[in-house]
Chains A and B, each alone.
Chain A
Amino acid sequence: MPMSEKQIESLIRKHIPDSKVIIEDLKGDGDHYSAVVISKSFLGKTRIEQHKMVYDAFKGKMGNELHALKLTTKME
């Protein structure tokens, strides 16, 4: 089952509470999204660590239920 924009946003915000999340459904198919995640908690972390923090929010759904997420992380 594909995930909705709301589900994605709420999972990320639950995992990274101070985050601002901007989601876009790239193809309108509920399967290919882009997400910009802005959080001060990324400070001092490498890009890999930042992306892992976001992926962790999906607890294994990433790459399975959530097929494609184009991810950008920012500190502000």
Chain B
Amino acid sequence: MTEDKKIDVSESIKNEIKSNNVVLFMKGTPVFPMCGFSAAVVNILSELKVKYSSVNVLDSDEMREGIKTFSNWPTIPQLYIKEEFIGGCDIIKEMYDSGELKELFNTRGIEINLS
């Protein structure tokens, strides 16, 4: 990967998390997750009926490696809320089970809808 591409991808990550309150970097898409860990986070976000944008890291090697460097986190999926890295699959699951995730969305003023 050249330096230029690295800069490009970190800029596009910054743009993505700036323009969307909730961003999930995942393998595949919410409709067709390509990995069980990504699917698990998609399920949680659908349970909470929260609006989010997703980035399929399998679309480009630069993004796949770039997001790991950007977050200093070695695995995918990665969830961002209001430009803050919240965690990967295990952390999100733990936070969902304990109610912390719901709480976090509430305190950040992001609408969720529990039926």
A binds B: yes
The size class of the interface chain A forms with chain B is 10 to 19
> For B47, what are the chain A residues with a Cβ–Cβ distance below 8 Å?
none
For residues 39 through 82 of chain B, which have their beta carbon under 8 Å from a beta carbon of chain A?
A: 68, 72-76
For residues 85 through 115 of chain B, which have their beta carbon under 8 Å from a beta carbon of chain A?
A: 85-91, 94-95
Please give the distance in Å from A70's CB to the nearest CB on chain B: 6
Are B91 and A47 neighbours in the complex by a CB distance under 8 Å? yes
Contact of B88 among A51, A58, A60, A72 (CB under 8 A): A51
Are B91 and A51 neighbours in the complex by a CB distance under 8 Å? yes
Does residue A48 face the partner (Cβ distance < 8 Å to B)?
yes
Are A63 and B90 neighbours in the complex by a CB distance under 8 Å? no
> For B88, what are the chain A residues with a Cβ–Cβ distance below 8 Å?
51
> For A48, what are the chain B residues with a Cβ–Cβ distance below 8 Å?
73, 85-87, 91
| A55-B37 contact, Cβ under 8 Å, with A47-B94, A63-B68, A71-B90 | no
Question: Complex formed: what's the CA distance from A70 to B94 in Å?
Answer: 11
Name the residue of chain A whose CB is nearest to the CB of B76: A63
> For B87, what are the chain A residues with a Cβ–Cβ distance below 8 Å?
47-48, 51
1/0 contact trace for A63-76 toward B, CB 8 Å? Answer: 10000101110000
Name the residue of chain A whose CB is nearest to the CB of B35: A68
Q: Which B residues form the contact surface with A (CB < 8 A)?
A: 37, 68, 72-76, 85-91, 94-95
